[in-house]
Amino acid sequence: MSGVLVIAEQRRGELRPVSLELLGAAQALGGLPVAVAVLAPNPARFVPALSVPGVAEVITVELAISEFDPDTFESAVGALIRARAPAVVLMAHSVDSFGYAAALAARHGYGFATDVFKVERTGGELIATRGGYGQKVNVEVDFPGRDTVILALRANVFKPPEGTAAPVVSAFEAPAVESRSLGREYIEPPGGDDVDMSTAEFILSIGRGIGEEAKVAQFRELAQALGATLGCSRPIADAGWLPKSRQVGQSGKTASACKLYVAMGVSGAIQHLAGMKHVATIVAVNTDAEASIFSVAKYGIVGDIFEIAEELRRHF
């Protein structure tokens, strides 16, 4: 085939939005034919959503289990790659792909790059770009001598195709596999208090820069005065200074309604930025002028968060 094989991602019966973004990215690969595979019980139900312009084929792979399982996915996707011999395999840079993509690439000697946010193919040469050194630099990589390259793409970067199309639909039979792990159940993230970050329009968020738990109170009071919902980055929730329900960013609650995000002392780990980049107005306050958060913020203040917080409080 030597085309592009896209691995769509579903969770609990819902296609994850990144699946369509992968299809958008596939179209930028110099006109290679694009096939998208979906692995799930009763996979045909996902065919309509994946039938978008640019997709030549939807491959349904029937699995006995609906949840992600490393051995099952490694075996099924591995068999699919061997059967189709794609030049490029696109998957999401997601927790599920963390669980098998590297093992697959390692075992079969495929070219491999993760968290890719730019991909191009010129004159048959594939070039992927990712971040390095805490996203301070961009790293351009290629894959000399590799017939197949697996790229795990960053979510919320590539534009999903619009419209509908009528691709060929075919079924692929995954080889039987005896999995060495057994899924038990999903557990909803623990609450802690009754806040719903997904409906908050204005979030005032605190990060590692606050330094100690005793300082949380100052920002709680400030958030209240501003009419903001108090949120936090991962280290604050991990330390137990605020409940996990207040954590925003990719591994925290999706702050989908957020329009104004004031981040104080949040340096901006990649997962945090990825989870917040949809916000229209981001204001970052940080002592470190080089903090990654300034690269996604609309406004930046390089300064002491306590001093700024104190001064800001006077205005409300």
Partner 1 sequence: MKILVAVKQVAALEEDFEFRADGRDVDGDFLVMDLNEWDDYSLEEAVKIKEACGGAVEIVAVSVGPPTVDEALRKCLAKGADRAVRIWDEAMRGSDSIAVARILAAAARAEAPDLLFAGVQSSDQAVAATGIATAGFLGWPHAAVVSQFTYTPGAATAVLRRELEGGLLHELEIRTPAVLTIQLGINTPRYASLRSIKQAAAKPIELRTLADLSLNAAEVGEAGSSARVRRMYVPDKGRAELIEGSAAEQAKRLAAIIRESTGAA
Residues 21-80 that bind partner 1 (CB under 8 A): 67-71, 74
Candidate ranges 44-52, 156-164, 213-221, 307-315; the one touching partner 1 (CB under 8 A): 307-315
CB of 238 to partner 1, least distance (A): 4
Nearer to partner 1, 54 or 86 (CB): 86
- Binding residues for partner 1, how many (CB under 8 A)? 99
Residue 209's CB is within 10 A of a number of other CB atoms, namely: 22
> What values do phi and psi take at 312, rounded to 5?
-65, -35
CB of 80 to partner 1, least distance (A): 17
Using the rule CB under 8 A, which residue among 22, 229, 244, 276 binds partner 1? 244
What are the tokens at 48?
């309509």
82 binds partner 1 (CB under 8 A): no
Interstrand relation of 137-142 and 125-132 (parallel, antiparallel or unpaired): antiparallel
The full length of the chain comes to 316
> 282-286 long-range contacts, Cβ below 8 Å, gap at least 24?
286/209
- The rounded distance, in Å, linking the Cα atoms of 217 and 83 is 59
Site for partner 1 in 128-157 (CB under 8 A): 128, 131-144, 146
Nearer to partner 1, 54 or 235 (CB): 235
Residue 291's CB is within 10 A of a number of other CB atoms, namely: 22
- The rounded distance, in Å, linking the Cα atoms of 234 and 309 is 21
CB of 53 to partner 1, least distance (A): 27
Nearer to partner 1, 60 or 72 (CB): 72
254 binds partner 1 (CB under 8 A): yes
Using the rule CB under 8 A, which residue among 19, 75, 114, 205 binds partner 1? 114
Per the CB < 8 A criterion, the answer to whether 174 and 62 are in contact is yes
Candidate ranges 25-33, 43-51, 83-91, 113-121; the one touching partner 1 (CB under 8 A): 113-121
Residue window 263-302: x/- pattern of binding to partner 1, with contact defined by CB under 8 A:
-------x---------xx-xxx----x---xxxxxxxxx
186 binds partner 1 (CB under 8 A): yes
Per the CB < 8 A criterion, the answer to whether 261 and 277 are in contact is no
- The rounded distance, in Å, linking the Cα atoms of 248 and 279 is 12
> What is the DSSP-derived secondary structure letter of residue 177?
-
CB of 54 to partner 1, least distance (A): 25
